[in-house]
Structure 1
């Protein structure tokens, strides 16, 4: 297989940053390690032919597969539990009061990957509102740029290790064991999440502003101007008093962030 020249690396990472906001300018070895098998499996003679095909922009499945390979991180249920404690103890009681009239919450999991985050949110909503009066609409919007990863999230298969941090009662209540020993999500949790493809560089077009936006461990791939612009787009579709969660390994620039800092990785639109 032909190698990955500096020229092709420059062309590919420039295209990825321009079209998707993902900054890989110093990640040549990561690209090689994660895409070499794809280049071979797809029948290309080397990286040059592969890059040419990507840059033509016609093969959406190939592009989606590339993005999935380059941005997939290990994730699991109840990742960064402090967020869910805050959700349960502070945010949900407040939202319950705020939405007594319409009984409809609006929550967005942006960059949802293989579904662990929105499904975890859904479990917390189910638990909190199970004994509340009225018929609450608790559906969650979950988006990702990769259609491949969305397909896996909509038809999920998880190993026991990915649910190990969940309470044992939830493991029994919200998961169904498959014949091969792996797990899938129970229908009531699965049906509560709406999955949609979405590029975070685009302007959000959703019908309702959001009470809460999760965008955790996604912006680590973005350069600062892209990150600042994205946060401002999130801010525009957050209701006054709404909340914004980022990953604990991420940070927002105090001088440019429109949200008010509440505590580590938790912000609010005042």
Structure 2
């Protein structure tokens, strides 16, 4: 309720938003003042601080960095569900899996690396894992597949690792998938199977801290509904960093509410929210 909000002055708002931008690339304009106050007021009280100025001092002097983690957990929104934006998964199956099939038929199965960046609570990457299991069947055991999922929120990653979801999150899933890879975990709750969960490696990662520490490059990167938090400069920084992480010919997915600047974007446009790295492209375009 509004009366429960801790007052947030202009100076305090500017300090907090600058901190969020400098450390995490998150851009919050003045219209987000109520959102910021609403999401942090309870935390201010939990830490024993009397106001936002004291909380800012607490953030700055916390040597463990745990409060920074708590800050980002409170600020970011991790709304997702299984099979969200299904046309992306159809494209993945028709255009990426088909290339894998072709290589398998020639008895030269490739290593396949897919990265879910800003994975939230795991619905996206688990959808990819189930799609691969469904498409390749038992043949998947003969493939070298790596699924990496990263997020800045420790709370979101913890939930993703646990793999328990409200039934409403499963509404877009094929019924067969729900029966095959989920078990009842409580009232209106379902747990994803160890078979699917074991395919994914979850890691904490701040997308603004480049270069990224991954070894090798990826065939596919999903970075959907993440850059809505960024300004144009931060978006360009992240897109260029991810371009370096993709193999030539690799596919880059963004959210439908996100568009990349055609003038500066290093990727080739395929269709709305789908881009690719040129086959002969091994670096950032000048």
TM-score (norm 2): 0.89
Residue 76 of structure 1 corresponds to which residue in structure 2? Answer: 81
Number of the residue aligned with 1:41: 46
Aligned to 1:117: 124
Q: 1:192 — aligned with what?
A: 199
- Partner of 1:23: helix, strand, or coil? coil
Gaps of 5+ in 2: 279-286
Which residue does the alignment assign to 1:151?
158
Question: Is 1:251 the equivalent of 2:259?
Answer: yes
Q: Deviations over 1:111-154 (max 9, x none)?
A: 00111111111111111111537611223100011222111111
Cα distance in 2 between the residues matched to 1:266 and 1:82: 10
**1:167-207 Cα deviation digits (max 9, x unpaired):** 11111111121134411110011011100111101211211
Q: Give the match for residue 50 of structure 1.
A: 55
User: Is 2:133–2:140's contact at 8 Å kept on the other side of the alignment?
Assistant: no
Residue aligning to 1:13: 17
Deviation of residue 36 (structure 1)? Answer: 1.4
Indicate whether 1:129 and 2:136 are aligned: yes
Matches of 1:125 and 1:260 in 2, distance apart? 25
Q: CA deviation at 1:156?
A: 2.3
Q: Is the 8 A contact 1:2 1:48 kept in 2?
A: no
1:65 is aligned to 2:91:
no
Match of 2:148 in 1: 141
2-side partners of 1:143 and 1:193: how far apart?
10
Answering whether residue 222 of structure 2 is matched by residue 218 of structure 1, we say no
Residue 166 of structure 1: CA displacement? 0.3
**How many pairs were matched up?**
270
Contact 1:125–1:138 (CA under 8 A) maintained in structure 2: no
Structure 1 range deviating more: 18-27 or 252-261: 18-27
Q: Determine whether 1:164 maps to 2:168.
A: no
Shift in Å, 1:89: 1.5
TM-score by length of 1: 0.94
Provide the secondary structure at the position in 2 that maps to 1:142.
Answer: strand
Q: Is the 8 A contact 1:220 1:250 kept in 2?
A: yes
Paired residue for 2:284? none
Counterpart Cα distance in 2 of 1:75 and 1:134: 28
Distance in 1 (CA, whole Å) between partners of 2:141 and 2:77 is: 39
Q: Which moved more, 1:236-245 or 1:144-153?
A: 144-153
Shift of 1:158: 0.7
Q: Secondary structure at the match of 1:65?
A: helix
| Cα gap change, 1:87 to 1:150, in 2 (>3 Å) | same
